[in-house]
Structure 1
Amino acid sequence: MSIPPGPAGTRRSGIRNVGRALTCAVFALAGLLFYVSAQTARGTDLRTDNSLLSLGDVIRQRSSQNQQAQAQLADLQARAQDLTDQQAHSPADTAQLDGLRLGAAMEPLQGAGLTVTLNDAPPNATARIPGVAEPNVNDLVIHQQDIQAVVNAMWRGGAEGVQVMDQRLISTSAVRCVGNTLLLQGRVYSPPYVIKAVGRTDALSAAVEADPTIRKYLQYVQAYGLGWKVQENGELTLPGYSGTTELRSTGGQP
């Protein structure tokens, strides 16, 4: 005997229809998501997208590109200097130009000087002095303030020129550190950090010894084993600056 459809049968039929519609909608949405993902990846692995590279990888990549650009710039500057020399009207003009280039750190500089080397503490370093607290990670690495203190002391000591790592400093040079990585004029360096200056060695040494920031750094050298070496040089040769001298405004942005 058949049961005529009533209100309950009608509700069950409506629920089944709604369920089928929701199922179709879910599958359609899933298909759309797969399509969008495929278009975004375009056959590549999303996990290796360049936007997911670490900051360190990006910095190293930019440093390599900057190094290549600086080499090209140095070659162009050498050609420009040759053309300038050819156009000089008199020996006095040439002498004046050479003096300006030397003062702007564009020419190599030779003479007696001082070399200071800074380095991180050994791995797993501990306190070397009784009663001194055990170090944290910031106590064991070279910071921007340490490098800048040495550079500033050398200038105060009458340095004729200063070099950090393999780069000559000019009036617009800025020492920047990210962690224990040095960023200098578009290139990246790791410790040990070598700072050289040409000038009177006694005056340079006295300025370094008198600097309060360096004195504080030397306390960490004794306590935790940070690297510190000072060497007087009878003859140093600093390279001429080979980077760009163009000033750029950031529009007030950092």
Structure 2
Amino acid sequence: MTGAHTAGPTEAAPQPEPEDAPQPPPQRRRRSLAWRIGTPGVAILSGALFVISAADSRGTDLRPGRYTDLAGLVEAEAAEYEEIRQDLEDLEDEVDALTEDVQTLGVTRTRGRIEVLRDPAGLEPRTGAGVSVTLSDAPEENLDEAVAHDYKADRLVVHQQDIQAVVNALWAGGATAVTIAGQRVITTTGIKCEGNAVQLQGVPYPQPYVIQAVGDPDDLMAALDADPLVSGYRSDAVNPYLEIGWDAETEDEVVAPAYDGLLDLRYARPVVTNP
């Protein structure tokens, strides 16, 4: 009699996973707290700096070149001034045309007085003998030597007070007309330093500054020699450590064109209060 064979319990062999079975996602390493906080902070700070730079620059370069195109600046300012002056002339011609239509005794007398005062006011051209004075900055190579000998750097450049001193001396010498850079000087002419240029009636002019006057050449030269402010400038001109530019000579003919700038005067009025 044959007995039945009973098999004991067996372990099932592991089955290989199919190749296309999904793989578990890799474990991401958690970033440190400093990294999570610092990154947004840097982004916010960078954005703030961009905003501040844009506001400060107002659309311009925050790091412009060391040297600007002075000739281009002068040309642009002069062109703008010329455009405004042309508009003024057009308006004055229109006013004159309208005034011609007004024929009253008061208007006629006033126009007569205006014609008499045009020449002394500088609104008529003048030509005659006179003098020419040229002021210019000292050579750049003199700067180190001047500072080494305890001279201030501003003594090497022409200032508005230097130009004014020459003009005032020429008036004192009997000048009947004075020009600066070819522009007629009148009682309301303003001379103002603006960077490394001088503004005359709102238009910048670079050095050298040529000042001419119509009048007796001997009297004008004597007035320049006698003026203490001009004498101080001339002392710096002969100083070997400064050598600021100075040249004065007589002229057989000086042409002073008529003043053609703005004639409107603006002034302040005191406020009147009731007691």
Report the TM-score when normalising by structure 2.
0.64
Instruction: Name 1:186's counterpart in structure 2.
Output: 202
Partners of 1:86 and 1:108 in 2: CA distance: 28
Q: Would you say the 8 A contact 1:64–1:187 is kept in 2?
A: no
Instruction: Name 1:225's counterpart in structure 2.
Output: 243
Instruction: Give the superposition deviation at 1:85.
Output: 6.7
1:70 aligned to 74, 85, 102, which one? 85
1:101-131 superposed Cα distances (whole Å, 9 cap, x missing partner): 2222122222222211111122303799xxx
Range with bigger deviation, 197-206 or 134-143: 134-143
Instruction: Name 1:106's counterpart in structure 2.
Output: 123
Amino acid at match of 1:73: L
Instruction: Name 2:255's counterpart in structure 1.
Output: 237
Q: Relative to 1, partners in 2 of residues 1:172 and 1:94: Cα closer, same or farther, differing over 3 Å? A: closer
Partners of 2:182 and 2:171 in 1: CA distance: 18
Uncovered stretches (5+) of structure 1, i.e. residues with no partner: 1-15
Partners of 2:96 and 2:40 in 1: CA distance: 70
Q: Would you say the 8 A contact 2:138–2:156 is kept in 1?
A: yes
Instruction: Give the superposition deviation at 1:144.
Output: 1.5
Q: Indicate the SS of the match to 1:103.
A: coil
Instruction: Give the superposition deviation at 1:200.
Output: 2.1
Structure 1 residue 145 corresponds to structure 2 residue 161: yes
Instruction: Name 2:25's counterpart in structure 1.
Output: none
Q: Would you say the 8 A contact 2:130–2:212 is kept in 1?
A: yes
Q: Indicate the SS of the match to 1:114.
A: strand
Cα RMSD, aligned residues only: 4.4
Q: Would you say the 8 A contact 1:67–1:187 is kept in 2?
A: no
Q: Which has the larger radius of gyration?
A: 2
Instruction: Name 1:118's counterpart in structure 2.
Output: 135
1:53-84 superposed Cα distances (whole Å, 9 cap, x missing partner): 97x78975555423431243245445655665
Structure having greater relative contact order (Cα 8 Å, sep ≥ 6): 1
Partners of 1:81 and 1:107 in 2: CA distance: 17
Q: Would you say the 8 A contact 2:172–2:223 is kept in 1?
A: yes
Instruction: Give the superposition deviation at 1:192.
Output: 0.6
2:180 aligned to 164, 171, 181, which one? 164
- State, as a whole percentage, how many aligned pairs show the same letter: 34
1:159-193 superposed Cα distances (whole Å, 9 cap, x missing partner): 22211112211211121113441011110011110
Uncovered stretches (5+) of structure 2, i.e. residues with no partner: 1-29, 271-275
Q: Relative to 1, partners in 2 of residues 1:247 and 1:127: Cα closer, same or farther, differing over 3 Å? A: same
Report the TM-score when normalising by structure 1.
0.69
Amino acid at match of 2:199: L
**Residues paired across the two proteins, number:** 230
Q: Relative to 1, partners in 2 of residues 1:179 and 1:87: Cα closer, same or farther, differing over 3 Å? A: same
Q: Indicate the SS of the match to 1:203.
A: helix
Instruction: Give the superposition deviation at 1:196.
Output: 1.3
Range with bigger deviation, 81-90 or 163-172: 81-90
Amino acid at match of 1:222: V
